Structures are given as C-alpha cells and as structure tokens.
Amino acid sequence: MTLFFFLLIAIVTVISAILVIVLRNPIHSALSLVLTFFSIAGLYILLNAQFIAAIQVIVYAGAIMVLFLFVIMLLNLEKEKRVSEKHPLQKAFGVSIALFLLGGIGSIVATGVLYGNMGTETAAKVSAVGNTKAIAGLLFTDWVLPFEITSILLIAAIVGAIVLTKKEL
C-alpha cells in the first residue's frame, strides 16, 4: 500500500517538476511548482515526517510561492517580450550536465547502495513521543546555535529586501 502511494506521489512530483521547466507561461510554471511542493509534502508523510510535511505546505507552498509570484509579477514579461534567448553552447552544456548526473545516479543504482545506515531515531521511537516533540527536543537543546543563527539569516533577508527596494533609506 505504501509502495502504491509512493509511486503515485513520486510520479506526480516528477511530472509537475518537469512541467515547471517545460511550460512557457511563468505563472503556469509557478502553479506546477506548487503541485511539486505539495507532492513532496506527501513524500515526507510517507517518510513519517509529519511535522516537516506541514512545514513544507505552510512555508513552501504558501509563503515562498507568494514571494515567487510577486517576483514574476514584478518582472512581468509580456508575450512579445518573452523571446527565448539561446546561446549556441546552451544545448551542449545542458546535455553534458544531464549525462553527468545520469551517470552519477546510474553508478549508485548499479553498485546497489540505495539505502544508508538506519539512524537511531526510528519511526516507532519518534511516534512514541510525537513527531513535533521529537524535533523540538533536539532543535532547542543540541541544535540551539543553528536555531539562533537562523534569526540572523532572517534579519539579513529583511535588511537585504529593504535596502534593495527602498528608493531613499
């Protein structure tokens, strides 16, 4: 049953991710990116990471997408201005990188090392205390410095956005 849902969600994820780069209208790309984010949240649920799944929907499919849409509307290329600029080396470059990545994935599949070592926090152990509580217990004790540094990162985002957009500071 899990395999069925995994395959279903994985296929939706891959197809919507391909649509993001294939679709010509940037708004359509953004909408398929929303679908990609939602299906990744589904994959997180299958991995027993319910808290991360909720965050994925709230932050990525919600907040980050609002930001993306505003950027698209800021740039707002009208149809006649959407001329695709093609560099002569573009295609060769893209194909060689794709082949390189395919080789990397292929070598991992061929050597059969698809699974890493199991961590100490198993799904049964986490669900005994609760998903959010398990994350919180680690985040606010062992990982308190990265947590505090996150606030520096966020304040840098605020200051950066204001400095870039305000005419007179």
Partner 1 sequence: MPSDYFPVFVFLLIAVGFPVMIIALSSIVGPRKPSPEKLMPYECGVDPIGSARKRLSVKFYIVAMLFVVFDIEAIFLYPWAVIFKDLGVFGVVEMGLFIVILFVGLIYAWKKGVLEWE
Q: Establish if 64 lies at the interface with partner 1 (CB under 8 A).
A: yes
Q: Establish if 63 lies at the interface with partner 1 (CB under 8 A).
A: yes
By rule CB under 8 A, what count of residues binds partner 1?
Answer: 49
Max CA pair span of the chain: 59
Q: Establish if 74 lies at the interface with partner 1 (CB under 8 A).
A: yes
The beta strands (E) that lie in 92-149 are given as: none
Q: Establish if 130 lies at the interface with partner 1 (CB under 8 A).
A: yes
Q: Establish if 143 lies at the interface with partner 1 (CB under 8 A).
A: no
Candidate list 97, 136, 142, 146; residue touching partner 1; CB under 8 A: 136
Candidate list 82, 106, 144, 146; residue touching partner 1; CB under 8 A: 144
Least distance from partner 1 to the Cβ atom of residue 145, Å? 10
Taking each helix axis from N to C end, the angle separating 26-46 and 65-75, rounded to the nearest 10 degrees, works out to 170
Q: Establish if 114 lies at the interface with partner 1 (CB under 8 A).
A: no
Q: Establish if 150 lies at the interface with partner 1 (CB under 8 A).
A: yes
Token pair in block for residue 111: 């050597």
Site for partner 1 in 10-29 (CB under 8 A): none
Least distance from partner 1 to the Cβ atom of residue 17, Å? 18
Token pair in block for residue 118: 């199991």
Q: Is 149 exposed, middle or buried (0-12, 13-18, 19+ CB in 10 A)?
A: exposed
Non-local (6+) Cβ contacts of 54 within 8 A are 41
Least distance from partner 1 to the Cβ atom of residue 54, Å? 9
Helix (H, G, I), strand (E, B) or coil at 67: helix
Residue 92: HSE in the Cβ half-sphere, 13 Å Cα cutoff: 3
Q: Establish if 162 lies at the interface with partner 1 (CB under 8 A).
A: yes
